[in-house]
Chain A
Amino acid sequence: MTDNNNGVLVVVEVEDNQPIDLGLEMLALARRLTDSMGGSVTAVAFGTGLETIGEMLIAYGADRVLINDNQIFANFHAEAWLPDLAKIVAELAPTIVLIGHSESGTDLAPRLAFRLDVDVATGCESIDILNGRPHMTRSCFGGLAREVVTFSKSPAVATIRSKSQQPLKPTTERSGGVENVISVLDVNSIRTRVVSREQEEAVGGVKMENAKIVIGGGVGLGGPEGFKTLNEIAELVDGAVGASRAACDLDWCPRSYQIGLSGRTVAPELYLAVGISGASHHMAGCGNSKTIVSINSDPKAEIFKSSRFGIVGNSQEIMPALAEEIRKLKA
């Protein structure tokens, strides 16, 4: 596995002509990995309007950027991406392929791995090179445990959890080549047809992943009204509102609020967990927050074990009071 080390390939997702944060975080990880094992960092981006993205990805750590600019890649579609991606991996023969543990990445990575007849580690929090081999650390058992795995066949395909890495500071001092991918996609090979995309009404305000404060609501809120107060507070502090899976399953809030293993991952300055018990599958989506403050009526709630500050009490009384106090402070 250490012979023919051709470095790391990073699949960078693009949104509104910009790389998503997770892409930049993975470039930083790729740099660390190549520092340790040698080889170079290649980034690949699929999408449209990618004229300027190459330079940016180089500034953030790539040695070489491959651009696949085509209208057909504007929205993620695994079957459209796979032929080109599989070809790039076959030609480049990287030691590691990094893909974001995002909605798209979790759909893409296992398909790629099986097409290449290699194994895949999903939801990785870190990768270390030990004895020349990549060791992938990933969460399992609903976030209760971690496992470290190695693979016997190269490349190792891994999806990386959002916010588990820090992006590098961009620098214009780095240089590298930007090339266009010559697509081998035969559109007749696409067997799944997208009939429609309905966007949920935008919740407004700050995107959860970028917010400094995220307020997560759980079953302890007592009902959908509880989320109104959370939204009110979020608006006052420029924060965003999320939820536990249980609250989403009860339809108290939009599905898009869900934070956790099968939902979104946030790592804000402050995660305010309101009426959330702290099941490990929820913590998998907020455990990297800088500070967790939790409010729960049960003093034995699991969430307090991950919290810097805790409040034992009725969130239905405390949250309106908190909104009031913040208003006073802002006045």
Chain B
Amino acid sequence: MKIVVCVKQIQNPEIPAAQFRIDEEAKVLIPVSGLSPVLSPFDEQAIEAALRIRDRAGENSDIEITVVTIASKGSRTAIKGALALGADNAVLLNEPTFDGSGGYVTARNLAETIRAIGDVDLILTGRQAADGDAGVVGLGIAEILDIPAITFACDVQTDEGVVTVKRVLQDGIETVEADLPALVTISNELGKVRHASMRETMRAAKKPVKEWMPEDIGLDDNQVSSKAMRHELQRLYIPVNDIECEFIDGDTPAEIAATLAQHMRQANLI
């Protein structure tokens, strides 16, 4: 069984807000210097979901996990990280003008890459990238490839050509199944992800990485980057927050709590 996991490399989303900066003129993120890019956390969980499927299938399974990414400027970090976690091989679509293309173009390029890989049974993506926060690409790939898609998974199992997915709902869990090939987007409720082991990290360097140019998979100029884009970024900015925080003091927890309770009463909330 062939599993493809689509991954994206981003600036660490856990940085303090004070370090986060935007170039409003160029409408781009100003990278924090000295900070290495990371795998988008939801994508890391998508890799984990694939590894759990392979673990369950046992040592001698025929499961092959391929990570796929689109890179503009030498962004191999995502791939290296994914291979060190245990993926078998990787495909990198090298598209120099890719940055900022948006979900519409990304989904198209990834769908064509997956088509070119061929005979893929299961495609896993994060529920959304932790920078754009759009949650568009996974569903887009499924629509383009005309295969069923199941979103927000916290558990993915495969058996005899069927994928069974537990989905996180606001008030519970829904179990959904579909025949393969299918696409599943993974949510953070999947739980803890493994760390790269020393052994896998050393092996990762020897794992095959294919680098394709758009023309290698039949994508012409009109299908990549700016020519294919359907959206135009008009503005990118950090919203201003002009709230002044008034601190409530007191000598004891009871005194502080009493002041807070009084405030709540004055606001007619008690």
Contact = CB atoms under 8 A, between A and B. Distances in A.
Given A198-B173, A270-B264, A123 B151 contact: no
Pairs A-B, 9 closest by C-beta atoms: A321-B257, A114-B143, A119-B230, A325-B261, A191-B148, A110-B139, A317-B253, A148-B235, A322-B257
Given A120-B103, A321-B257, 15 more contacts: A110-B138, A111-B142, A145-B236, A150-B231, A192-B176, A192-B182, A193-B178, A199-B171, A200-B171, A269-B267, A309-B248, A321-B254, A322-B257, A322-B261, A329-B265
A147 interface: yes
B143 A237 contact: no
B139 A305 contact: no
Given A107-B139, A304-B245, A321-B256, A141 B133 contact: yes
Nearest to B111: A114
A113 B139 CA distance: 10
Nearest to A191: B148
Interface stretch (B14-22, B48-56, B79-87): B14-22
B179 interface: yes
Contact of B238 (A107, A145, A328, A329): A145
Contacts of A121: 134, 231
A195 B243 CA distance: 48
A196 B176 CA distance: 7
Interface string B206-239: 0000000000000000000000011111111111
Contacts of A307: 243, 245
Contacts, number: 240
B254 A311 contact: no
Give the size category of A's interface with B: 35 or more
A317 B252 CA distance: 9
A188 interface: no
User: Chain B's interface: helix, strand, loop or mixed, by majority?
Assistant: mixed
Contact of A309 (B130, B178, B229, B246): B246
A192 B177 contact: yes
A135 B187 CA distance: 29
Nearest to A107: B151
Of A122, A141, A213, A318, most buried by chain B (CB within 10 Å of CB) is A141
A38 interface: no
Interface of B: 13-14, 16-17, 20, 22, 27, 29, 102-104, 107, 127-128, 130-136, 138-140, 142-144, 147-152, 164, 168-179, 182, 187-189, 191, 229-239, 241, 243, 245-248, 252-254, 256-258, 260-265, 267, 269-270
A225 interface: no
A318 B256 contact: yes
Contacts of A281: 13
B248 A119 contact: no
Nearest to B10: A141
Nearest to B11: A141
B267 A313 contact: no
Contacts of A329: 261-262, 265, 270
Contact of B232 (A150, A197, A270): A150
9 contacts: A144-B20, A145-B239, A193-B177, A193-B178, A198-B175, A280-B17, A302-B17, A309-B260, A326-B270
Contact of B16 (A122, A150, A302): A302
User: Chain A's interface: helix, strand, loop or mixed, by majority?
Assistant: mixed
A299 to B, nearest CB: 8
A121 B230 CA distance: 11
A79 interface: yes
Interface string A148-178: 1111110000000000000000000000000
Given A196-B174, A237-B270, A311-B256, A146 B237 contact: yes
B263 A309 contact: yes
Contacts of A141: 13, 20, 29, 131, 133
Nearest to B19: A144
B230 A118 contact: yes
A262 B148 contact: no
Contacts of B172: 197-200, 256
B164 A195 contact: yes
A324 B257 contact: yes
A110 B267 contact: no
Contacts of B245: 304-305, 307-310
